[in-house]
Amino acid sequence: VQFLASVLPPGTDPAFFEHLRALDCSEVTVRALPEGSLAFPGVPLLQVSGPLLVVQLLETPLLCLVSYASLVATNAARLRLIAGPEKRLLEMGLRRAQGPDGGLTASTYSYLGGFDSSSNVLAGQLRGVPVAGTLAHSFVTSFSGSEVPPDPMLAPAAGEGPGVDLAAKAQVWLEHVCAHLGLGVQEPHPGERAAFVAYALAFPRAFQGLLDSYSMRRSGLPNFLAVALALGELGYRAVGVRLDSGDLLQQAQEIRKVFRAAAAQFQVPWLESVPIAVSNNIDEEALARLAQEGSEVNVIGIGTSAVTCPQQPSLGCVYKLVAVGGQPRMKLTEDPEKQTLPGSKAAFRLLGSDGSLLMDVLQLAEEPAPQAGQELRVWPPGAQEPCTVRPAQVEPLLRLCFQQGQLCEPLPSLAESRALVQLSLSQLSPEHRRLQSPAQYQVVLSERLQALVNSLRAGASP
């Protein structure tokens, strides 16, 4: 307030600043779609009512908090639809976010939209998002191979028997692996192998290899196999490999083939199914390729595309005045798209007898709710005539969630909202769900709402 007083024109009434200091949200009421709901254009995400000045001040904060979160969740849900249910999707976009705050929102809502985990540790701590990650190229390239591990001895997984020198054991395995792969034993980079050994000594039950710091075929893969087989002898199983460059699908196929051959050759069946993770600027198109039938990729790390939503980097949510003192208001502007629907409204989702979504209907708040099994006359957008629909089920969409300065019910957990996303998507018909040229889901108006729009448009006084 003090800052505002310093930038507003001199002579601004001091009582205004006193008024600002006294404001709070105790008279604000918020109705909202539950977190994780499917929202279609025209249906309010939030309905805010309260003293005019207070709810006007809430415009930018609410848009700022809702728009990006909804964009990221929608984008994540698209990526999940493309990936299919089996692939593990890892969000790793913090470095491309608009600061730590943007990164936290991106991680939270990517998970809500259908990702499995995030590399953002703070999102794990603050929001309960499962955290996951691999190792960094800088970790691998920081080793030259001349390092001596502080303690190269590793005890067997079962905890019994003497420890063995893992570095020495990996060196022995390297010879077998190179012979099997037809490589010279000098070809794999010794620094990369030293990095893998160090990682395996620290995390013997979570060993993974990053294969492309030097050459995947001639260095990363044989070094990984040498260390994984050495660990395997002690009863530990490697948990994965990662690729971060080149043709990811093609290399994954190649790596899986090598895993299968080596599993047979060295009689370690578990090696066949070591998960292959990939990353490197993966967008929707690249993801579709990685998710295709027969792909050997198991885990897909997505950073930039998850966080910046490059196909549509912003969601154009708006916050519009629809009623003052119970009187409906409508913005009649030069752009038909910028016109608003007047009045305080209720929203319902109509479902068919098979549970599929038929359409959403907007009506005035004071109208009775549509009844299951009863015929309803509604106006599709731009229609010249109403049409009729007989829903088998009717679901109210907006819930009272904030009143008199208090939450009205406990917020759902992130996992509950995440489950709601997938459940809701499953109710959507394939034509509406497909990502290329989807059929438009209808949001229709009740007859009374349509009549109000018509009367305000006709220029009757608002």
Token output for 114: 């259908």
Confirm if 89 and 83 have CB atoms less than 8 A apart. yes
CB of 15 to a copy of itself, least distance (A): 10
Strand runs (DSSP E) across 204-341, as ranges? 208-210, 240-243, 276-278, 299-302, 323-324, 327-328
Q: Residue 39 CB, nearest distance to a copy of itself (Å)?
A: 17
- Per 3-state DSSP, the chain is made up of helix, strand and coil in percentages (nearest 5) of 40, 15, 40
In single-letter form, the type of residue at position 169 comes to K
Which one, 245 or 273, has the nearer CB to a copy of itself?
A: 245
CB of residue 374 to a copy of itself, shortest distance in Å = 35
3-state secondary structure string across 37-85: CCCCCCCCCEEEECCHHHHHHCHHHHHHHHHHHHHHHHHHHHHHHHHCC
Taking the mean position of all CA atoms in its chain, how far away is CA 55?
29
Range 47-69 burial, b when 16+ CB lie within 10 A, else e = bbebeeeebeebeeebbeebbbb
CB of 64 to a copy of itself, least distance (A): 5
CA 103 to chain centre: 11
- Compare residues 60 and 426 and give the one whose CB is closer to a copy of itself: 60
Minimum CB–partner distance for residue 304 and a copy of itself (Å):
5
Could you tell me the smallest distance in angstroms from the CB atom of residue 124 to a copy of itself? 6
Which CB, 40 or 214, lies closer to a copy of itself? Answer: 214
- Between 150 and 294, CB nearer to a copy of itself: 150
Separation of alpha carbons 404 and 303, rounded Å: 40
Which CB sits closer to a copy of itself, 72 or 350? Answer: 72
CB 274 within 8 A of CB 44: no
> Nearer to a copy of itself by C-beta: 228 or 397?
228
**Smallest distance, a copy of itself to C-beta of residue 41, A:** 16
Q: Find the shortest distance in angstroms from Cβ 202 to a copy of itself.
A: 7
Q: Return the structure tokens found at 232.
A: 């395997």
218 CB-near residues (< 8 Å, 6+ apart): 183, 187, 188
CB of 218 to a copy of itself, least distance (A): 10
350 vs 82, 448, 456, CA distance in Å? 27, 18, 27
CA dihedral 160, 165, 171, 174 (to 10 degrees): 20
Pair of tokens at residue 50: 């309260």
Residue 444 beta carbon to a copy of itself: minimum distance, rounded to whole angstroms: 25
d(CA 298, CA 52): 52
Residue 179 tokens read as 């012979």
| Closer of 195 and 397 to a copy of itself (Cβ) | 195
Q: Which is nearer to a copy of itself, 124 or 156 (CB)?
A: 124
- Which one, 215 or 424, has the nearer CB to a copy of itself? 215
Smallest distance, Å, CB 332 to a copy of itself? Answer: 5
Task: Please say which residue, 214 or 266, places its beta carbon nearer to a copy of itself.
Answer: 214
Residue type, 278: V
**Closer residue to a copy of itself (CB): 186 or 388:** 186
Shortest distance in whole angstroms from residue 62 CB to a copy of itself: 9
Q: Both tokens of residue 336?
A: 């038909």
Nearest to 360 by CA among 34, 77, 39: 39
CA distance 1 to 19: 10
Radius of gyration in angstroms for the set of CA atoms belonging to the chain, rounded to a whole number = 29
Whose Cβ is closer to a copy of itself: residue 84's or residue 246's? 246
